[in-house]
Amino acid sequence: MFDLRDKNIIVTGGSRGIGKGIVEFLASHGANIGFSYSSSEAAAQQIAEELPGEGHFCFQMNIADADSVKSALAGALEKMGSVDGLVNNAGITKDQILLRLKPEDFDQVIQTNLRGTFLCVKTLLKPMIKQKNGAIVNITSVIGQTGNSGQANYAASKAGIEAFTKSIAQEVASRNIRLNCVAPGFIQTEMTDAMEDKAKQTISEKIPLGRLGQARDIAQSVAFLLSENASYITGQTISVNGGLNM
């Protein structure tokens, strides 16, 4: 269904949660994967070694730091030779109601999620423009569409990514480069596994399909947008949330 054979794809934040699911799914459909991690080298290296196929690798990168992004992505690009796709998945949360939200926590979330996406896209657009081909998928969130109490910084960062994506999609469409977003709802990850059953049940009851999503649900949409099946789609957001926001 998704032919990604011989496609060189870079994924940020690929060592756990949704990012790990994306990395594994893309590799299973033939892509050559380079993915970043922030701190746990051993865990990331194990994932890279267990991916189907050959030539996969991981690399450390701090997406909130311009020098780190420039250096890490230059190294990844040199290793791959070229880049066909980029998935911006890495991000953080610093949740708190506004009256208690520290300015530095607001800044850190914007710096990491929104500015980090900007840095990664800008860095890899140059080789994509040169080869006149490329696809970029930015992972946003249902929270960026609906807002959420205690997550003003996170919601703002994710809504900003959607607007950023539309703008850059218009700038580079003539170069055969596409940018789109995938907006997950509540997805079962290590974070949700740690929640109490009652809390998970409360969330599930709000979702029309009656369950949390799986990382694979997000990965399939990402693979579609990276593939030639989506060659006429750009500047769009696919919401994968079980009907939570219609």
Question: Which are the catalytic amino acids?
Answer: 154
Rounded to whole angstroms, the Cα distance separating 178 from 201 reads: 38
Q: Which of 202, 218, 206, 213 is nearest to 245 (CA)?
A: 206
The residues that bridge with 183 in the sheet, in sequence order, are: 239
Q: 115-146 b/e with 16+ CB inside 10 Å = b?
A: bbbbbbbebbbebbbeeeebbbbbbbbbbbbe
Coil vs helix vs strand at 86: strand
Q: Which of 14, 67, 113, 148 is nearest to 105 (CA)?
A: 113
What residue spans of the chain are helical by DSSP H?
17-28, 41-50, 66-80, 103-109, 116-131, 143-146, 152-172, 190-193, 197-206, 215-226
